[in-house]
Structure 1
Amino acid sequence: MNEMKAAILEEFGKPLSLRTVPAPVLGTGEVLVDVVAAPVLPYAAEVFRGERNYLLTLPVVPGAGAIGRVRETGPDATRLTRGDWVLCDPTIRSRDDALTPDITLQGLSARGDGGLFLQRHYGRGAYAEQLLLPTENAVPLGPLESAEAARWAALTVCLVPYGGLLAAGLRAGETVLVSGGATGHFGSAAVAVALAMGAACVVAPGRDEAALADLERRFGARVRTVRLTGDGDTDRLRRTAPGPIDVVLDLLPPSAGPAPVRTAAMAVREQGRIVLMGGVGDDLAVPYRWLMRNSITLRGQWMHPRTAPASLIALARAGLLDLGQFTTTEFALDDIAAALDHAETAPRRFALTVVRP
C-alpha cells in the first residue's frame, strides 16, 4: 500500500482534516508499523489550538505513541519480524550525540532546534494507518489480542511518571509523594507505577474528595490521601506519610502555578529527592540553604530513558502494573474530532481515549 489514511493538523486552531497521504518509506535503522491503537492526550486539543506553544512543524500528522504490529523492518533489525506487537515509543532521540541527544516527541512537540530538525524525518505521528519509527522505538510487547491493544496503550501514559521515578532512583520500600493531580491523568498513573515499582506507600494529595477516596479503594492502605486546603499543607503531607517522604514527583499542569509545587517539595526528608516533570511555567522559589543543608537532590526530567519502555512492559507482563485499572473509550480515525472532544472533557483518572485506525 503506497497510500494511507491520516489525520492532518494544517494550522493551529483549525480542526484536523482526514486525508489520504503517501505512506512512509522505510529506510535502514527504521521500522514501519501498522497502527492499531493510538492514545489521545487530555490536552491534545489545547496543543492543536496553539494554546501550549509546543514546537511542532506544520502541517503534521499528530499523535504521540501507539500500539501496533510490525509491517516491515529495515535490513539491520535482528529480532523484530513482521506481525510482532510493539509499543511505539514517541520519544525519538538523535543518534549522533550519545551524551546530549536532541529529542522530538513524535507527533506532539520537540526540544529546541535539534528536535525540530528531527521532525523533518520523524514528525508524522500515530493518527494514521502507518507509523515510521527508529528501530529502537518499536519495543516488543509479546503476544497480544487485537482487542487488548487499547488497554496496552495505557503504557504510553505510565511511561511519563515511570521516567520520573527512575530519575528519582526509587527503591522498594520507600515513600513517594505524587504532587500534581494524583487524581488526574498522569498523576493517577504515577500512583499505580510507584506501587508497581515497590513503593511502600504513596502519599496522594488533591482537592477532589471523591477521587481521593477512589484511590484508597483501588490500592488500599499503601495509598494515603491528603485533601489540600492551601493552609499548612506541607506539614499535613508529612504527617500523613507513615514515615519520612523519600521522593517527591511533581506532575502539575501549566495552570497550577508554582505554589503547590513548592508545598510538596518542602515535605521531602533530609537527603530526599525531588523530580520535576510538570508544565508549570513560573520560577520555583526553593530555599537555597534548605536545599544545601538538607542535602536535597532537585532535578528535572523530560520523559524517560531509552530502556524504560522494555522494563515497564515487564512490570505489566508480571502483573505488578495492572493495566486493568484503565478504562478505554475507542474511536475510529474518521471520528478524530469526537475523540479529541472526549479526551478533553471526559474523566481522566485511569481513563484513556484511543483512536483505532
Structure 2
Amino acid sequence: MAALPETYRALVLNAIGEPLEVQTKPTPQATPGSAVVKILAAKILSYGGDIYNGKRKYPLPTPLVPGSGAVGRVAAVGSDATSLAAGDLVLVDIYLRGRDDPSIAALSGVHEGHTETSSRLMRGEWRDSTYAEYAKMPLENCYKLDEKRLLGPTTAGGLGYTVEDLLAMLVQPVAFGGMRCIGIEPGDKVIVSPATGSFGSAAVQVALAMGASVIAMGRNMDALKKLQTICAEDRVQLVQITNDQQQEMEALAKCGPADAFFDISPPAAAGSSHIRSGMLSLKHSGRVCLMGSGIGDVAIPAAALTYKNLTIKGKWMYERADILKMIQMAEGGLLKLGSQAGWVTAGRYQLEQWEEAFASAAKHAGPGERVLFEFR
C-alpha cells in the first residue's frame, strides 16, 4: 500500500453533550503492538447518539474520536507484527483488553470500562477509535479475514459478500460469546429476549447457526414476524412480551421445554417481566445468560433456581476465542452475513452527516437493518 498521508479526517467529540465535528488531524503512526487501519466501513450503534449527547451515562475521556466495530485494510503495522501486513482485509474489534490482565476491558469509542484501571486503556494509546479515515488499534484487535473466500464471487468458490456485509461480524460476537458461555449445543432450545433489536436479532441468527432452535420474545409482534421471515426458519417460535408473567409463561410453555435463556435487554426494558418469565420457563438444569447490563437490579426466583438446578451467568462481550471461531464459521459458510442473511443497509453516511447518521441508526434499530459510515 501507499505511504500513510500526513493528515486524515476524523469525527471528534470534544466534550460529552457538545456537537461533534469533523477535524483534520495528524495521521497516527504504527508503533510496536499496533496496526494503522484504513477504515472502509464502520457500524453505527443504534444508541450511539445517546452515548455522545450524554443521555446514556457512559464514561468516556474527551476529546476523542468515537467509533464502533469496523472493516478496513491494514495500512501499516508495528515492528513486532508477525501475521498482519499492509493490504490485509481485517475486522476491527473495539473490545480492548489489558495485555497484562485480560479481565480489564473497555470499548474503544464507546465506554472506558467499569474501573479506574480499565479507563487507562482509553486515556492514552487507544483514545481514538474508528469514525475516521484511519484508526490505530492493537494488533490483537485486527482480525485478518479470508478476502478471497468472503468477497470472492460464488462462481470462483467465494461467498459473494460485500464489505458492508462483513459488518455483521461485529454484532454477532456479542451474542456468540453469550451463547458459548452457557454451552449452547445443537438441538438446544434457547429463549432469546428481547429478540427484535440489533443484538437480540443477531442472537437468534447465531443460535440457529449453532444448531439450536429459538423462542424469540419481544413486545412488537410485527418486528418478531419480520425476524422470523428474515431467518426463514421453522426453528423460530414467537412469544410476545406483555408484562403479564403468567401469560408469558403460558405462551412459552406451548413452545415446549427450553434449555437456555439468553437476555440482552436495553435500559428501556428495566422492570420488564420477561426475565423472570424466561427463567421460570426453563427445564431442569437450564442455563441463563444475562448480558443486558443497563437494566439495573433483577429479582432472581431463588426457589426455582434451587429446585430446578439452574445456572445463571453474567457476560460482558466475548472472548478472543469466540470471535476467532465465529469468523471461522462465517468463512466456512455456516454463519450467513449481511444481505444473504436478510439484512439491508438502511443508511450510508459520510462523517459530515454524523447527526443524520445517528438519528437514522436510532430509527433503524430493528431486525434486518444496519446503518454505517462509509469511507471512499
TM over 0.5: yes
Equivalent position amino acid for 2:112 in 1: A
CA deviation profile, 1:170-215 (whole Å, cap 9, x unmatched): 11110110012x122111111101101111x100112222222223
Residue 362 of structure 2 corresponds to: 344
| Structure 2 alignment gaps of length 5 or more | 153-160
Counterpart-to-counterpart distance in 2, 1:114 and 1:237: 45
C-alpha deviation, 1:238, in angstroms: 3.3
Residue 160 of structure 1 corresponds to: 174
C-alpha deviation, 1:237, in angstroms: 4.4
Residue 292 of structure 1 corresponds to: 306
Question: Structure 1 residues 352 and 150, CA, compared in 2 at 3 Å: closer, same or farther?
Answer: same
Counterpart of 1:209 (choices 221, 229, 233) is 221
Counterpart-to-counterpart distance in 2, 1:237 and 1:115: 42
Counterpart of 1:12 (choices 8, 12, 16) is 16
Counterpart-to-counterpart distance in 2, 1:292 and 1:22: 58
Matched, 1:197 2:210: yes
SS of 1:117's equivalent in the other structure is helix
Counterpart-to-counterpart distance in 2, 1:38 and 1:122: 17
Counterpart-to-counterpart distance in 2, 1:237 and 1:15: 46
Equivalent position amino acid for 2:175 in 1: P
Q: What is the percentage of aligned positions where both structures have the same residue?
A: 35
Counterparts of residues 192-271 of structure 1 (less than 5 Å): 192-199=205-212, 201-218=213-230, 219-231=232-244, 232-242=246-256, 244-258=257-271, 259-271=273-285
Counterpart-to-counterpart distance in 1, 2:183 and 2:105: 22
Q: Indicate the larger mover: 131-140 or 285-294.
A: 285-294
Equivalent position amino acid for 2:217 in 1: P
Question: Structure 1 residues 89 and 237, CA, compared in 2 at 3 Å: closer, same or farther?
Answer: farther
Residue 59 of structure 1 corresponds to: 63
Residue 133 of structure 1 corresponds to: 137
Q: Indicate the larger mover: 259-268 or 34-43.
A: 259-268
Counterpart contact for 1:163–1:305, Cα < 8 Å? yes
Counterpart-to-counterpart distance in 2, 1:217 and 1:292: 38
Residue 116 of structure 2 corresponds to: 113
Residue 188 of structure 1 corresponds to: 201
Equivalent position amino acid for 2:127 in 1: G
Counterpart contact for 2:265–2:295, Cα < 8 Å? no
Residue 171 of structure 1 corresponds to: 185
| TM-score normalised by structure 1 residue count | 0.94
SS of 1:248's equivalent in the other structure is strand
Counterpart-to-counterpart distance in 1, 2:242 and 2:332: 38
Counterpart-to-counterpart distance in 2, 1:74 and 1:246: 46
Residue 46 of structure 1 corresponds to: 50
Counterpart-to-counterpart distance in 2, 1:229 and 1:104: 35
Question: Structure 1 residues 234 and 207, CA, compared in 2 at 3 Å: closer, same or farther?
Answer: closer
Equivalent position amino acid for 2:33 in 1: G
| Structure 1 alignment gaps of length 5 or more | none
Counterpart-to-counterpart distance in 2, 1:128 and 1:233: 48
Equivalent position amino acid for 1:94 in 2: G
SS of 1:92's equivalent in the other structure is strand
Counterpart contact for 2:47–2:362, Cα < 8 Å? yes
Q: Indicate the larger mover: 211-220 or 336-345.
A: 211-220
Number of aligned positions between the proteins? 352
SS of 1:330's equivalent in the other structure is strand
